[in-house]
Chains A and B, each alone.
Chain A
Amino acid sequence: MKVLVVEDSESLRRSLGEGLRRSGFAVDVAADGDAGLSFAEHAGYDAIVLDLMLPKLDGLTLLRRLRAMKKKTHVLVLSARGKVRDRVELLNAGADDYLVKPFAFDELFARLHALVRRSYAEKFPILAFAGLEIDTTSKSVQLRGRPVELVGLEYGLLEVLALRRGRVTSREEILDRLYASGYEPTSNVVEALVYSLRKKIQPPGTLPIILNRRGVGYLIEAD
């Protein structure tokens, strides 16, 4: 999953970015509103964490412009102002959630997950299919009740495909969701990840869970 953090406080930006990255998110960070809008315009994100008081372009204006561009990315707003009027104004402007500073990192993490699930119309944090159970909160996977050890990118790929069950996800979309902007992975990284993932989650003698649509992308079939 890929998120954008737009926050002008350097320490908050760095700690949030690092925390989310280590929690399995691909994270882009922006220090001002202009940069944040540019990121949001040109890259696909599962969610945006947006500070309200930003230099160059304030968070509320950024949000309005984003919605004016018909961008449906879920936005979680961070602000020091927590009055009902402020929250109502933000929700009316198109924000999906709101956290008042100071906040607990765990709460931010949980709310981000909820937003990501909402963007894929998933209500439950555990995705279960074909004998697999993917806990999107703890980022853990079980196959027929036994834990499966996955590295970060393997888990990320499985979650992307699992959340889009029944739909083909292109190689570019996978890369976009797994890597922060500006990172250039090796050309066959997706194929390598699919190969290693299949080995870990595919019980011997069963039909493949991850299907390859040659020239189009990969998919996990719907139940």
Chain B
Amino acid sequence: MRSIRRDLVLELSVGTAVLAALAGLVSGRAIENRIRRDFDDALHSKAQALVTLTEQKSGVIQLEFADEAMPEFSVRQPLEYFEIWASTGEVVERSRSLQDGHLPRRMGSNGEPRFSDALLPDGRRGHLISLAFVPQLEDDRDPWAEHAANQHPESSNELREASLTLARGTEELEGLVRSIYAADLAVAGGLACALALLVGWVVRRGFAPLSEVARRVGTLDEHSLASRLEVNPPVLELEPIVRRLNLLLERLEGAFERERRFSGDVAHELRTPVAELRTLSEVGERWSGDADLARDLFRDAAKVAGRMERSVEQMLAMARAEAGRDVGLEEAIYLEALIDECLSAQGVVSESAGTRVTRNLDRSLVVCTHREMFVLVLRNLLDNAFDYSPAESSIEIVSRALPDGQFVLEISNLAPNLEARDVAHLFERFWRKDAARSDSRHSGLGLALVRSLCGLLGFGVEASLDETDRRLTVVVKGATGAGKQSPSAV
């Protein structure tokens, strides 16, 4: 698997090693150039010294030279060589170190020295300087010189010219250059290794917070979803990752909590009535001789069974809706008539509770949909509105067609116990405001069923709470499907 840390260490190490090697090469080159320049300067100085020692007298060029002063030109220690020629090519003087050998005669241009490389008579590689010069007069009153000046007063060129080649072995120079490059490379290599270690340490240190986050993520399980990741001290680059991980944890915690609540709610919805029936039957059986007790217990058992039946029916309807089954044929329905039909079923309840119903319905509104499913939606919405409305309050039902071929149905009622944060949970399965789930009339599936059915019918459903007058409004919105079919009588 690819490792960012390994890649970083590798790439940074190789990069820094290459840079160090380049830096070594550049600095080595600079030092080499300097050394070679110094070598040339020394050669040039030595050549100038030889030029200074070369004189002419009566047209004869001669060199006042003593081996003792310059032992490098001796036969015994032949390190350097020189040879001086007259302009005619005649050898004027040569170092004893040359013995039988010769140096190449090369002429510098315009009095400038000329440097070149060549094999020395002793077979070593050498560096040469060649220059042309006019040897100075030994005596300014040399009659030969005066004669020459009189013959050619415009120029002193009639003095005899000479050329010099001076050579020196370069093995020391080349050895020095090689050792400089070797030292540079060694320093570059050492630097690269040190940098690799440093980079490795820095990268590991830099990645430590990430490793810590990974370690903490590794310790998370379904029991620790409430914990949140934290990087101390905060790291700018990790902050978005940690924030997103924490958001993920929050969502997971919510999902787990919903799942846990769902399991608990299902358990409560099913186990409580079963426990009731079991206890009722066992107590009834134990004191079966008491007719009054048996009658009371049977009555309770019938109520419990009825409640269970409603719960099971809702769960089945829910399962069918979620599975997308039971989608019958669509038909065109007058919405007002259908609402009236559902309201008539609520008549007794509303009268006993003193609930008023305010209708503001579009009489001509026709919705083309699946009748049975839509009735289930309406009945559940109205059941909720009637059951949770305080006594003597009003329920408002509004329907209208929208210009874009859609319809809106709003059912609102007072919900004094509801809080804004509850609205998000209203359509969750088994959610109830009362965590104890004591109200035996509801199982908490009604609105979840409404949402599933609306989804199946292609409608949207939303709820909102007006916190000023604590009025809950459920809005169903969707396409009327007008024109598909003619409406039938309800």
**A residues adjacent to B (C-beta < 8 A):** 8-12, 14-16, 18-19, 22, 32-33, 53-56, 58, 78, 80-82, 100-106
* With contact pairs A11-B300, A102-B271 given, residues A19 and B279 touching in the complex (Cβ less than 8 Å): yes
Say whether chain B's binding surface is mostly helix, strand, loop, or mixed: helix
Q: Which of B272, B296, B304, B438 contacts A54 (CB 8 A)?
A: B438
Q: Does B268 contact A (CB under 8 A)?
A: yes
In angstroms, Cα B274 to Cα A100, docked, is 11
In angstroms, Cα B440 to Cα A44, docked, is 31
In the assembled complex, how far is the CB of residue B433 from the closest CB belonging to chain A, in whole angstroms?
Answer: 11
* With contact pairs A11-B300, A14-B296, A18-B293 given, residues A101 and B275 touching in the complex (Cβ less than 8 Å): yes
Is the Cβ of B435 less than 8 Å from the Cβ of A103?
no
Residues of B in contact (CB 8 Å), total 31
Is the Cβ of A15 less than 8 Å from the Cβ of B267?
no
17 pairs across A/B with beta carbons < 8 Å? A8-B438, A9-B275, A9-B438, A10-B300, A11-B280, A12-B275, A14-B296, A15-B283, A15-B297, A18-B293, A18-B296, A19-B286, A22-B286, A32-B436, A53-B437, A54-B438, A101-B272
In angstroms, Cα B296 to Cα A216, docked, is 43
In the assembled complex, how far is the CB of residue A44 from the closest CB belonging to chain B, in whole angstroms?
Answer: 25
Is the Cβ of A55 less than 8 Å from the Cβ of B434?
yes
Please name all residues of chain B whose beta carbon is closer than 8 Å to the beta carbon of A104 when the two chains form the complex: 278, 282
Please name all residues of chain A whose beta carbon is closer than 8 Å to the beta carbon of B264 when the two chains form the complex: 80-81
8 Å CB contacts to A: which residues of B258-295?
264, 267-268, 270-272, 274-280, 282-284, 286-287, 293
Please name all residues of chain B whose beta carbon is closer than 8 Å to the beta carbon of A106 when the two chains form the complex: 282
Q: Which of A56, A81, A105 contacts B279 (CB 8 A)?
A: A105
Please name all residues of chain B whose beta carbon is closer than 8 Å to the beta carbon of A14 when the two chains form the complex: 296, 300
Is the Cβ of A105 less than 8 Å from the Cβ of B267?
no
In the assembled complex, how far is the CB of residue B224 from the closest CB belonging to chain A, in whole angstroms?
Answer: 13
Is the Cβ of B300 less than 8 Å from the Cβ of A101?
no
Is the Cβ of B271 less than 8 Å from the Cβ of A53?
no
B290 and chain A: residue at smallest CB distance: A22
In angstroms, Cα B282 to Cα A106, docked, is 8
In angstroms, Cα B282 to Cα A22, docked, is 13
Is the Cβ of B278 less than 8 Å from the Cβ of A102?
yes
8 Å CB contacts to A: which residues of B274-329?
274-280, 282-284, 286-287, 293, 296-297, 300-301, 303-304
* With contact pairs A81-B264, A81-B267 given, residues A101 and B274 touching in the complex (Cβ less than 8 Å): yes
Please name all residues of chain A whose beta carbon is closer than 8 Å to the beta carbon of B304 when the two chains form the complex: 11
Please name all residues of chain B whose beta carbon is closer than 8 Å to the beta carbon of A18 when the two chains form the complex: 283, 293, 296
Please name all residues of chain B whose beta carbon is closer than 8 Å to the beta carbon of A54 when the two chains form the complex: 436, 438
In angstroms, Cα B436 to Cα A55, docked, is 5
Q: Which of A19, A32, A33, A103 contacts B283 (CB 8 A)?
A: A19
In angstroms, Cα B278 to Cα A22, docked, is 17
Please name all residues of chain A whose beta carbon is closer than 8 Å to the beta carbon of B440 when the two chains form the complex: 9-10
In angstroms, Cα B437 to Cα A80, docked, is 12
In angstroms, Cα B294 to Cα A19, docked, is 12
Is the Cβ of B283 less than 8 Å from the Cβ of A9?
no
In angstroms, Cα B281 to Cα A12, docked, is 11
Please name all residues of chain A whose beta carbon is closer than 8 Å to the beta carbon of B437 when the two chains form the complex: 53
Is the Cβ of B275 less than 8 Å from the Cβ of A105?
no
Is the Cβ of B280 less than 8 Å from the Cβ of A22?
no
Please name all residues of chain B whose beta carbon is closer than 8 Å to the beta carbon of A101 when the two chains form the complex: 271-272, 274-275
* With contact pairs A8-B438, A11-B301, A101-B274 given, residues A80 and B293 touching in the complex (Cβ less than 8 Å): no
B278 and chain A: residue at smallest CB distance: A102
Please name all residues of chain A whose beta carbon is closer than 8 Å to the beta carbon of B283 when the two chains form the complex: 15-16, 18-19, 22, 105
Please name all residues of chain B whose beta carbon is closer than 8 Å to the beta carbon of A56 when the two chains form the complex: 436
* With contact pairs A11-B300, A54-B438, A81-B264 given, residues A19 and B272 touching in the complex (Cβ less than 8 Å): no
* With contact pairs A11-B300, A11-B304, A18-B293 given, residues A103 and B275 touching in the complex (Cβ less than 8 Å): yes
Q: B431-462, CB under 8 A of A: which get 1 and which 0?
A: 00011111010000000000000000000000
Is the Cβ of B274 less than 8 Å from the Cβ of A102?
yes
Query: 10 closest A-B pairs (Cβ-Cβ)?
Result: A101-B275, A102-B275, A11-B300, A80-B271, A19-B283, A105-B282, A8-B438, A80-B267, A55-B436, A102-B274
* With contact pairs A53-B437, A105-B282 given, residues A9 and B276 touching in the complex (Cβ less than 8 Å): yes
Most buried by A among B271, B301, B440: B271
Please name all residues of chain B whose beta carbon is closer than 8 Å to the beta carbon of A53 when the two chains form the complex: 268, 435-438
Is the Cβ of A58 less than 8 Å from the Cβ of B436?
yes
Q: B414-438, CB under 8 A of A: which get 1 and which 0?
A: 0000000000000000000011111
Please name all residues of chain B whose beta carbon is closer than 8 Å to the beta carbon of A32 when the two chains form the complex: 436, 438
In angstroms, Cα B276 to Cα A8, docked, is 11
Please name all residues of chain A whose beta carbon is closer than 8 Å to the beta carbon of B268 when the two chains form the complex: 53, 80-81
Please name all residues of chain B whose beta carbon is closer than 8 Å to the beta carbon of A80 when the two chains form the complex: 264, 267-268, 270-272, 275
Given A15-B279, A81-B267; 7 other pairs, CB 8 A cutoff: A9-B438, A11-B304, A18-B293, A80-B270, A80-B275, A101-B274, A103-B275
A82 and chain B: residue at smallest CB distance: B267
In the assembled complex, how far is the CB of residue A215 from the closest CB belonging to chain B, in whole angstroms?
Answer: 40
In the assembled complex, how far is the CB of residue B222 from the closest CB belonging to chain A, in whole angstroms?
Answer: 11
In angstroms, Cα B299 to Cα A15, docked, is 12
Please name all residues of chain B whose beta carbon is closer than 8 Å to the beta carbon of A103 when the two chains form the complex: 275, 278-279
A19 and chain B: residue at smallest CB distance: B283
In angstroms, Cα B437 to Cα A156, docked, is 36
Is the Cβ of A12 less than 8 Å from the Cβ of B279?
yes
In angstroms, Cα B287 to Cα A130, docked, is 33
In angstroms, Cα B440 to Cα A91, docked, is 28
Is the Cβ of A15 less than 8 Å from the Cβ of B435?
no
In the assembled complex, how far is the CB of residue A61 from the closest CB belonging to chain B, in whole angstroms?
Answer: 11
Is the Cβ of B286 less than 8 Å from the Cβ of A55?
no
In angstroms, Cα B287 to Cα A53, docked, is 29
Please name all residues of chain B whose beta carbon is closer than 8 Å to the beta carbon of A55 when the two chains form the complex: 434, 436, 438
Please name all residues of chain B whose beta carbon is closer than 8 Å to the beta carbon of A33 when the two chains form the complex: 436
A31 and chain B: residue at smallest CB distance: B438
In the assembled complex, how far is the CB of residue B210 from the closest CB belonging to chain A, in whole angstroms?
Answer: 33
Is the Cβ of A58 less than 8 Å from the Cβ of B279?
no
Please name all residues of chain B whose beta carbon is closer than 8 Å to the beta carbon of A102 when the two chains form the complex: 271, 274-275, 277-279
